[in-house]
Amino acid sequence: MRHLMIVVLESLRHDVWLEANPTILGRLGPVERRFSYASWTAPSHYNLLMGLLPHDSPTHVHASEHYKADIARYSMRLDVPDVEFRSMLPSLYLPTFLRGTLGYRTVARVSMPVLNPHTPINHDFDDYRLMPSHNDFHGILDDLDLAGDVPTFWLLNVGETHYPYATPEEDPAEWPRISGLHGTLRRVGEDTERPPLFDADELAQLRRRQVRALRYLDGAFERLLDTLPEDTWLIVTSDHGELFGEDGYFGHGPIAHRLVHEVPFVERLAR
């Protein structure tokens, strides 16, 4: 059985990947434009862990057949025969199937507090950890055991591409800030005034910051690819996109817009 690793680049848009044109990630093959099932971190990761990766948008097919085909691809990814939708029942949860049915070790390293170990996302993981910093992919790699002595599933949630699109060496005092919305958590009653909107120049700068964050992460992927155990199937994608002022929107979540669902997707046998 192959190892399986899913790396989720927070908030990364498909067209930002194209603009950044990452060199190391480019070696994995052409990036696909796919669509997230959700526009926010937690529900998107729940779908991912049901085994339902970002999808294309096929016409003239029954949606149920698309689900079946998506799950059936795990036979190829894992090198395990006859994986199908019914194989995932009754839990419909990938870590449960891998751990309980196939004997995989299940490991997660997450950057976003909304995915902390007390949430239902952490179900049937042997080793699940919220990292101390939201934007330190190298810190995640430092914390991983990639020995590969038993078949392992790794879920890595990487935060550099999430607002404020900051790399670890950047001084937090230089981060762009939205009053009351900076970071993920805020106290009830704090900063109750509506934060000011970014102007067009600031929005363009924020988009450039996400491009720069992905180019930074490209170097960390070189390190990851050099240390993955043999026979590892790697999937790199995003949980949702981000809006940088298009049609008056900023951010993600309660936004119904094509660009908040368009995400990059690439997969292959990495080693």
Q: List pLDDT tens digits, range 79-137.
A: 999 998 888 889 999 999 999 999 999 999 999 999 999 999 999 999 999 999 999 99
Among candidates 141, 107, 157, which has minimal Cα distance to 127?
A: 107
Tell me what pLDDT residue 195 has. 58
Q: In what order do the strands lie in the sheet with 232-237?
A: 32-35, 262-269, 232-237, 3-9, 152-158, 105-110, 127-130
Residue 47 scores a pLDDT above 50 = yes
For residue range 230-265, list pLDDT tens digits in order.
999 999 999 999 999 888 888 898 888 999 999 999
- Rounded CA-CA distance 114/189 in Å is 20
Per-residue pLDDT, 196:
62
pLDDT at 183 exceeding the cut of 80? no
In this prediction, residue 61 carries a pLDDT of 84
Q: Which pLDDT value is given to residue 126?
A: 97
CA distance 24 to 133: 24
Q: Could you tell me whether strands 232-237 and 105-110 are parallel, antiparallel, or unpaired per DSSP bridges? A: unpaired
* CA-CA-CA-CA dihedral for 77, 85, 114, 191, to nearest 10: 120
